[in-house]
């Protein structure tokens, strides 16, 4: 949750940073000495035109409230020429700023919409014959067409309609604007606000824009243009900047039948068009390029050496092509002006020594590179000391590779570094003391490695700008923070994540971090009680608090703390005791499992925590009944109360549409399954194991068509299995566990229609009749299809806790019918279930022979056919099942020689078969005479 929230905020910031710079570029290009803001009088006919235009607009925030009176040249967003008095500029760009995003307003989308102009654009604008600048960007015109009459405003030099929710065909009339220098129709949605798509079936109109220097058609669908788009763009000889990002362009030719006219091009963005080809080398003839973005185009092969022709290149983005490969070449160092390089999300391999040496040798004073992103490739080896030669580097992202070893000591020479991301590698060494020399470092992300060693005051004392510190190591490794107890750090963090790092009792350097919004100190060796003052300092800002897997003790008192932004709190696997806290907070996720809490769940929990989505109280000492008020939690998704002492009946009031995980395993609950559980259309995981529940399975559960797990085992349920439990009604079912109940009757044939079933356990009941012959219709078991969806859902409910999680996963791809009253033979069809790992048919009254083709089950790990009435010989094919680890054929009527099974030397697995002979039994087989 915290990752996505932080990423979203960063994305909004970068987007608005781009928009701001782009807007400044418009002003720079289109501003002239003749168009200055003055106190000239407004021309009446133009004022009337503006009023008519205003009357067609919606203005929920009153941005145009100044548009009254005679002097229109003083109205907000209106500028007039100082000499002619004509309206020359109309700047109605939405002023919504990045500071508003997620900070000032709880709903940034709603805040943005309130600041938007919308409605219709009156043709009166065409009367502003001297208008040179028109900016309607960042507004919301809700999918209306771009007016044709814009092409009649012949003096326009700048037209910006970006992020304004226009749709339909781009009017060809725009081609009449021969003086136009800047055209921005960027058509992506902003903050999720989108009302259609902008498209162009032809680009012939571009030929009329002879003065155009900047063209942005990002997100305008150009798939209807075909492969002629490049020829049309080539008619713009003055073009300096071209953005065709995500335009669904049809092909990028590897060679050109014509010469390139736009040789002055400085910025080229062809990102996200999926060309699926090698990178065309003619691109490298555009020697004026300073920025080249080719991300997400599925370019293939190595980086061409011709790229070194781009001597002026400052920004190169080849990220997310997925198929660029080979070593990262050292000749990239010849791009001596390069400031930003992004090669992330490709298939580059090998070491980076040659590449770094090429970069550091690019100028006499070291590379000018400011940002380097090589993340999500297949790079290996230790990071070389030459990394420290990138003296001007501010951003270094090497995450998602296979780098190993320690961070080189030379890292300390990167004195301008602000972002360091080495997460998701195989780093298995130490963090050098020179790390502490990075005084400008803001974000240090060292997650998901295997760090070891000691971090001292020297590693931290100079990190004055640090805001985010993320370090995780393996639980088997030792990374210790050895910092003086009274040491005060120079930084104030807003994000900290330390997992499996030993910090000891909550140290002072953490207690003084009063500006934290995200806190994860998981398995950090923290003991004792949580200081009240620290919680109080955090309460007004904290969004997520995770102190799980420590030795924190004490009672959680109902402190009078306000947590206005808290979304998740995880105090699981500690030593808290006493009653559950009566916190009144807006938390969405509350994890308190694996502690020693006692007493009841507060009756008014729904009023205290109305936004609760995930509620985990498993493995405590809680008692009393499950309060009906939980049914009032309209957003509740997961309720996990496993392994407590709850008693009484389950409430019969469930009506929330969000609940998908319900686990009350290992309690003292009684009564029947409430019918209202069938009113939960999202219910996916239902676990009622080991209680005192009784009665039949209610028919209302057939309404829960998304069920993946049903575990009713170890209760007192009775009756026959309903036919709807199989078939198409519950086609999503992955696991059905009904063992140790009093179910009776035949096993319904409809179970064979559960094509996603991976585990079936009907053991220790009173089922009778014969085994169904249709088990080979269980497609997921036959082909051993992926159970990833099931495993992920179960992981969330059990939070991956062992051994419970592991024991359920161990039953994936298994059938257990043991301990019933089944008769007849074992169907031959069962030998077609090739994905079967476990088969237990023991303690029944099965007769006949073991199927000859039992050896077809090559993935079989466990086979138990003991305590039946099986006869005949043991099939020779059983010796072909090399995966078999657990076998029990005891107490049957089997005869003859035991096949060669070298992995089994325990005679007890064949005991009770008096006519069997051969190893490992002491009875030797008679030699035929």
List, for residues 562-592, the tens digit of each pLDDT value: 788 899 999 999 999 999 988 878 899 999 9
State the chain's mean pLDDT as an integer. Answer: 91
Output the six-digit token pair for 83: 């000499």
Structure-token pair, residue 474? 């393996």
pLDDT at 30: 59
Q: What are the structure tokens assigned to 537, written together?
A: 């300092």
Please state the separation of Cα 66 from the chain's center in Å: 45
pLDDT of residue 532: 82
Residue 11 pLDDT grade (very low, low, confident, very high; cuts 50, 70, 90): very low
| CATH number belonging to the domain at 592-599+608-897, selected among 3.40.50.300, 3.40.50.970, 3.80.10.10, 3.40.190.10 | 3.80.10.10
- pLDDT mean over 150-171: 96
- Residue spans per domain, the chain: 1-199, 592-599+608-897
* Sequence-distant (≥ 6) Cβ neighbours of residue 916 within 8 angstroms: 874, 894, 895, 896, 897, 898, 910, 923
**pLDDT computed for residue 99 by the predictor:** 39
Inform me whether the pLDDT recorded for 738 exceeds 70.
Answer: yes
pLDDT bin (cut points 50, 70, 90) of residue 551 is very high
| Per-residue DSSP letter, 167 | B
Per-residue pLDDT tens digits for 744-781:
999 999 999 999 999 999 999 999 999 999 999 998 88
Rounded distance between C-alpha atoms, residue 873 and residue 853, angstroms: 13
| Span 227-238, average pLDDT | 91
User: Minimal CA–CA distance to 178: which of 244, 238, 260?
Assistant: 238
Residue 905 class from Cβ within 10 Å (0-12 exposed, 13-18 middle, 19+ buried)? exposed
The phi, psi pair for 316, rounded to 5°, reads -125, 120
Angle, CA 805 vertex, CA 800 and CA 809 arms, to 5°: 125
pLDDT, tens digit, 9 for 90 and up, residues 133-154: 999 999 999 999 999 999 999 9
d(CA 607, CA 624): 19
Averaged pLDDT, 546-558? 90
Distance CA 572, CA 795 (A): 15
How high is the pLDDT of residue 13? 43
Q: Looking at residue 116, what is its pLDDT?
A: 94
What's the confidence (pLDDT) of residue 928?
63
Q: pLDDT tens digit string along 392-438?
A: 999 999 999 999 999 999 999 999 999 999 999 999 999 999 999 99
Looking at the predicted structure, is the pLDDT value of residue 374 above 90? yes
Asked if residue 362 has pLDDT above 90, the reply is no
Residue 559 confidence class, pLDDT cut points 50, 70, 90: low
Measured between alpha carbons, how far is 167 from 450 in angstroms, rounded to an integer? 51
At 7, is the pLDDT very low, low, confident or very high (cuts 50, 70, 90)?
A: very low
Q: Would you tell me how many other CB atoms lie within 10 Å of the CB of residue 619?
A: 22
pLDDT, residue 97, reads 66
Evaluate if residue 639 carries a pLDDT over 90.
yes
pLDDT of residue 38: 47
How far apart are the C-alpha atoms of 160 and 91, rounded to whole Å?
Answer: 9
pLDDT band at 926 (very low <50, low <70, confident <90, very high): confident
Q: What is the pLDDT of residue 619?
A: 98
The pLDDT, as a whole number, for residue 28 is 56
CB 144 within 8 A of CB 167: yes
Sequence-ordered list of residues with C-beta below 8 angstroms from that of 10, at least 6 positions apart, any chain? none
How far is residue 359's CA from residue 369's CA, in Å, rounded to a whole number?
A: 8
- How far apart, in whole angstroms, are the C-alpha atoms of residue 874 and residue 443? 65
pLDDT of residue 784 exceeding 70, the answer is yes
Query: CA-to-CA distance for 697 and 748, rounded, in angstroms?
Result: 14
How confident is the model over 45-83, as pLDDT tens digits? 999 999 999 999 999 999 999 999 999 999 999 999 999
Q: At 767, is the secondary structure helix, strand, or coil? A: strand
Rounded to a whole number of angstroms, the CA Rg of the chain reads: 35
- Give the residue from 486, 443, 448 showing the smallest Cα distance to 463: 443
Structure tokens at 353: 């020594």
CB-based contact 207:233 (threshold 8 Å) = no
Q: Residue 847: its pLDDT value, please?
A: 97
Read off the pLDDT of each residue in 13-20 and give the average, rounded to a whole number.
Answer: 44
pLDDT range class, residue 109, cuts 50, 70, 90: confident
Pairing of strands 886-888, 915-917: unpaired
What's the pLDDT at 26? 53
- What is the 8-class DSSP label of residue 818? -
How confident is residue 12, by pLDDT bands cut at 50, 70 and 90? very low
CATH class of 1-199: alpha beta
The span from the CA of 606 to the CA of 623, in Å, is: 18
What's the whole-number mean pLDDT along residues 312-323?
Answer: 96
Q: How many CB atoms lie within 10 A of CB 512?
A: 15
Average pLDDT of the residues in 376-403: 96
> Given this model, what pLDDT does residue 3 score?
46
Q: Do 520 and 501 form a contact (C-beta atoms < 8 A)? A: no
pLDDT score recorded for residue 558: 62
pLDDT-based confidence at residue 106 (cuts at 50, 70, 90) = low
Do 726 and 701 meet the contact criterion of CB atoms below 8 Å apart? Answer: no
Q: Is residue 105 scored above 60 in pLDDT?
A: no
Give the model's pLDDT for residue 100.
40
Q: Are both 1-199 and 592-599+608-897 of the same fold? A: yes
Q: Which helix (H) or strand (E) covers residue 215, if one does?
A: strand 214-216
Tens-digit pLDDT profile for residues 878-893? 999 999 999 999 999 9
Q: Which one, of 392, 389, 371, lies nearest residue 319 by Cα?
A: 371
pLDDT of 638 above 90: yes
Where does residue 685 fall: left (phi above 0), alpha (psi -120 to 50 degrees), or beta otherwise? beta
Contact 342, 317 (CB under 8 A): yes
pLDDT tier for residue 540 given thresholds of 50, 70 and 90: confident
Helix, strand, or coil (residue 473): coil
- Strands 87-91 and 78-80 come out as antiparallel
Q: Sign of the C-alpha dihedral, residues 100, 102, 106, 107?
A: positive
Q: Parallel, antiparallel, or unpaired: how do β-strands 118-119 and 57-58 relate?
A: antiparallel
pLDDT at 193: 80
Q: Which of 97-111, 450-464, 828-842 has the lowest mean pLDDT?
A: 97-111
Q: What percent of the chain has pLDDT over 70?
A: 94
Q: Can you tell me the distance from the alpha carbon of 638 to that of 772, in angstroms, rounded to the nearest whole number?
A: 35
Residue 14 confidence (pLDDT): 43
Return the pLDDT at 657: 80
3-state secondary structure of 149: helix
Position 726 scores a pLDDT of: 84
H, E, C per residue of 672-715? CCCHHHHHCCCCCEEECCCCEEEECCCHHHHHCCCCCEEECCCC
């Amino acid at each position: 949750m915290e990752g996505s929230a932080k990423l979203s905020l960063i994305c909004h910031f970068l987007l608005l940073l781009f928009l701001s710079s782009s807007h400044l570029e418009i002003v720079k290009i289109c501003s002239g000495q003749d168009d200055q803001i003055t106190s000239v009088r407004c021309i009446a006919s133009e004022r009337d035109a503006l009023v008519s235009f205003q009357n067609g607009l919606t203005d929920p925030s009153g941005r145009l409230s100044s548009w009254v009176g005679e002097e229109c040249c003083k109205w907000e967003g209106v500028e007039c020429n100082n000499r002619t008095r004509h309206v020359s500029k109309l700047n109605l760009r939405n002023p919504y700023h990045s500071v508003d995003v997620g900070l000032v307003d709880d709903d940034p989308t709603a805040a943005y919409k309130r600041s938007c102009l919308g409605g219709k654009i009156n043709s009166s604008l065409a009367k502003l014959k001297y208008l040179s600048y028109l900016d309607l960007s960042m507004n919301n015109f809700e999918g209306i067409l771009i007016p044709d009459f814009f092409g009649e405003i012949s003096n326009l030099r700048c037209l910006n309609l970006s992020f304004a929710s226009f749709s339909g065909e781009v009017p060809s009339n725009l081609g009449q604007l021969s003086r136009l220098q800047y055209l921005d129709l960027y058509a992506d949605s902003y903050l999720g606000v989108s009302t259609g798509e902008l498209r162009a079936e032809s680009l012939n109109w571009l030929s009329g824009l002879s003065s155009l220097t900047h063209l942005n058609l990002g997100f305008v669908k150009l798939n209807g243009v075909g492969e002629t788009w490049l020829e049309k763009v080539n008619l713009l000889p003055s073009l300096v900047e071209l953005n065709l990002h995500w335009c669904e362009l049809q092909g990028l030719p590897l060679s050109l039948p014509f010469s390139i006219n736009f040789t002055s091009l400085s910025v080229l963005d062809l990102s996200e068009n999926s060309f699926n080809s090698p990178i065309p080398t003619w691109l490298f003839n555009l020697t004026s390029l300073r920025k080249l973005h080719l991300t997400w185009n599925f370019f293939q092969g190595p980086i061409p050496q011709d790229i070194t022709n781009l001597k002026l290149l400052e920004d190169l983005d080849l990220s997310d092509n997925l198929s660029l490969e080979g070593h990262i070449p050292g000749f990239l160092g010849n791009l001596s002006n390069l400031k930003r390089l992004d090669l992330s999300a490709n298939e580059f391999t090998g070491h980076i020594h040659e590449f770094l040496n090429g970069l550091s040798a690019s100028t006499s004073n070291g590379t000018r590179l400011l940002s380097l992103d090589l993340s999500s490739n297949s790079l290996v080896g230790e990071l070389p000391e030459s990394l420290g030669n990138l003296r001007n580097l501010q951003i270094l992202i090497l995450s998602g590779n296979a780098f190993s070893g320690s961070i080189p000591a030379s890292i300390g020479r990167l004195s301008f570094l602000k972002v360091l991301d080495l997460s998701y590698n195989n780093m298995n060494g130490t963090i050098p003391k020179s790390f502490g020399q990075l005084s400008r470092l803001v974000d240090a992300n060292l997650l998901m490695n295997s760090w070891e060693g000691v971090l001292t005051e020297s590693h931290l004392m100079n990190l004055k700008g640090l805001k985010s510190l993320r370090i995780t190591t393996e639980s088997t490794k030792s990374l210790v923070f050895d910092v003086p107890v009274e040491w005060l750090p120079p930084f104030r963090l807003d994000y900290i994540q330390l997992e499996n790092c030993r910090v000891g009792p909550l140290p002072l350097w953490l207690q003084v971090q009063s500006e934290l919004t995200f806190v994860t100190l998981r398995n950090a060796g923290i003991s004792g009680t949580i200081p009240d003052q620290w919680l109080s300092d955090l309460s007004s800002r904290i969004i997520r608090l995770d102190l799980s897997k420590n030795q924190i003790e004490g009672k959680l008192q109902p402190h009078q703390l306000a947590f206005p932004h808290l979304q998740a709190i995880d105090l699981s696997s500690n030593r808290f005791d006493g009653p559950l806290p009566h916190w009144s907070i807006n938390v969405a996720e509350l994890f308190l499992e694996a502690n020693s809490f006692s007493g009841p769940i507060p009756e008014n929990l729904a009023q205290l925590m109305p936004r609760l989505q995930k509620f985990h109280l498993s493995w405590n000492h809680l008692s009393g009944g499950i309060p009906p008020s939980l049914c009032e939690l309209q957003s509740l998704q997961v309720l996990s109360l496993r392994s407590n002492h709850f008693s009484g009946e389950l409430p019969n009031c469930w009506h929330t549409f969000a609940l998908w995980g319900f686990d009350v395993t290992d309690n003292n609950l009684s009564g029947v399954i409430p019918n209202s559980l069938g009113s939960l259309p999202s219910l996916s995981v239902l676990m009622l194991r080991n209680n005192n529940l009784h009665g039949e399975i209610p028919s209302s559960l057939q309404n829960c068509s998304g069920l993946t797990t049903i575990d009713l085992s170890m209760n007192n349920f009775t009756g026959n299995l309903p036919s709807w439990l199989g078939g198409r009604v519950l086609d999503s079912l992955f696991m059905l566990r009904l063992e140790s109940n009093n179910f009776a009757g035949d096993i319904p044939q409809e179970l064979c229609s559960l094509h996603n079933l991976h585990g079936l356990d009907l053991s220790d009941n009173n089922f009778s009749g014969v085994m169904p012959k249709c088990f080979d219709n269980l497609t997921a078991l036959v082909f051993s299809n992926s159970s990833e969806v099931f495993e992920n859902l179960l992981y969330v409910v059990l939070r991956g806790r062992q051994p419970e999680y592991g024991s359920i996963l161990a039953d994936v791809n298994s059938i257990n019918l043991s301990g019933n009253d089944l008769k007849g033979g074992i169907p031959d069809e069962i030998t077609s279930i090739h994905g079967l790992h476990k088969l237990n048919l023991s303690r029944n009254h099965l007769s006949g022979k073991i199927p000859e083709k039992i050896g077809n089950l090559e993935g079989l790990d466990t086979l138990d056919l003991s305590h039946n009435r099986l006869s005949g010989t043991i099939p020779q094919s059983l010796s072909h099942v090399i995966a078999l680890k657990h076998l029990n054929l005891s107490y049957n009527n089997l005869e003859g020689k035991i096949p060669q099974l070298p992995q089994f030397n325990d005679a007890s697995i064949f005991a009770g078969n008096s006519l069997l002979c051969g190893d490992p039994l002491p009875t030797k087989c008679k030699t035929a005479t």
